[in-house]
A and B are shown apart, each in its own frame.
Chain A
Amino acid sequence: MSAALILDACLVLLVLAVAVWTIAARETFPAIAGFVSYGLLLAIVWVRLSSVDVALTEAAIGGGATGVLLLGAAARLTDRAGRRPAGIGLRIMAGALCLAITAALAFVILTLPDPAPTLAPQAVAGLPATGVGNPITAVLVAYRGIDTLLEKIVLLLAVIGVWCLTPDDSWGALPAPWGTARQDDAIVLLARLLAPVGVVVGVYIVWVGADDPGGAFQGGTILAAMWLLVMMAGLIAPLPATSRRLRRVLVAGPALFLAVAFAGFAMSGDFLSYPPAYAKWLIKLIEAALTLSIAAMVGVLVIGPAVRKR
């Protein structure tokens, strides 16, 4: 038995144990501490599955955005689980159903066809036409560009949905996701030291995304985390939903993507097709604009709407 397989077994057991804890914990807060740990462990799982791009996404989302979102919500929602949890009958039925689904999935996993079907050769064969070296970036922005375009629109819709939940009398007010607590000097120091480094790392992750693991979403999420950190330290105020500057940044990326997609009709005769001569630069331009928009969208989604003044 090799060291690698022992490592994999340890990791799988640990992930499953943390998942059981997250589901079984009685109080909400321990469950969320478990869930944040689960996200960080999944980043290692992705590295073991040779999906470094996904590992970067999971680390940025699981370690930063989701944790801040859920911890903030857990502190504010004051209700606790009631005296009587779900009935024993329901639990047994749910348990049986879930066991059946797990067993079916396990059966599928163990009987997957061999050799496995793959699109990797086709993805690599098309790389020269796109000018980028990372096949995942090529899939995201070129081969399946329509998915990525719609995904950004889903993010925008979520932002609109979150803003729609502002109470009428608070429309235009500043969101105050962390109350108006006094500045904590340790957090201020962290923000002052970390934010500039984090911005550089975020831009770096986007830049290398053209040829190595990385990309707009991973880098944008890190930028969003830095924006959140500076706001958490109280160094800058959150922007209100009515801010025109914020709205411009939010739509800049999707709008540019859409414009290039339509320009494809004129330049090379089809929606979302890049003329080969400029493909690399168009993709980089779209990625740069998307990064800024993603940073703004993730930030707004975590901050949430303005709440009613009491």
Chain B
Amino acid sequence: MSLLRDLFTVLMVSAGGFCFLAGTAGLLRFPDALTRLHALTKADNLGLGLIVLGLIAQAPGPLGALKLVAVWLLAQLAGATATQVLARAVRAEGRDSP
């Protein structure tokens, strides 16, 4: 049982790490601010979600697992808002200086 749980954690954390790799590749390769913002907030939040999923299996108890999920939900909210307001700022900046 413990082995199965560890295997699940290894799989999920590795998948999460891959998402961070993809996000960074996007940051390095994408041509403008809006697409970089996309790479940053989509891939990294998915990566964080997978890592949280993997760590839930290692959590000390149901409350610890709940806290991990709360961290992920808060990060989602922050990511969604920051993307929205930053994307508007990028567009406004583009209009000011063509």
Contact = CB atoms under 8 A, between A and B. Distances in A.
B35 interface: no
Interface in B69-87: 74, 77-78, 81, 84-85
Interface of A: 184, 186-187, 189-190, 193-194, 197
A197 B81 contact: no
B74 A187 contact: no
A197 B78 CA distance: 13
B77 A187 contact: no
A194 B85 contact: no
A186 B85 contact: yes
A189 B81 contact: yes
15 contacts: A184-B85, A184-B88, A186-B81, A186-B84, A186-B88, A187-B81, A187-B85, A189-B81, A190-B77, A190-B78, A190-B81, A193-B77, A194-B74, A194-B77, A194-B78
Contacts of A184: 85, 88
Contacts of A193: 77
B86 to A, nearest CB: 10
Contacts of A186: 81, 84-85, 88
The 7 closest A-B pairs by CB, nearest first: A186-B84, A190-B81, A186-B81, A186-B85, A193-B77, A184-B85, A194-B77
Nearest to B86: A186
Nearest to B84: A186
A176 B54 CA distance: 45
Contacts of B81: 186-187, 189-190
Nearest to B74: A197
A15 B91 CA distance: 31
Contacts of A194: 74, 77-78
B96 to A, nearest CB: 14
Contacts of B78: 190, 194
Residue of A189, A190, A194 most packed against chain B (CB within 10 A): A190
Nearest to A198: B74
A181 to B, nearest CB: 12
Contacts of B74: 194, 197
A68 to B, nearest CB: 14
A259 B53 CA distance: 49
Contacts of B84: 186
Nearest to B73: A197
Contacts of A187: 81, 85
A60 to B, nearest CB: 14
B24 to A, nearest CB: 14
Residue of B74, B77, B78, B81 most packed against chain A (CB within 10 A): B81
Given A186-B84, A186-B88, A190-B77, 8 more contacts: A186-B81, A186-B85, A189-B81, A190-B78, A193-B77, A194-B74, A194-B77, A197-B74
Contacts of B85: 184, 186-187
B54 to A, nearest CB: 17
Contacts of B88: 184, 186
B85 to A, nearest CB: 5
Nearest to A186: B84
A193 B81 CA distance: 11
Nearest to A191: B81
A69 B79 CA distance: 21
Contacts of A197: 74
A93 B76 CA distance: 48
Nearest to A197: B74
A45 B81 CA distance: 28
Nearest to A193: B77
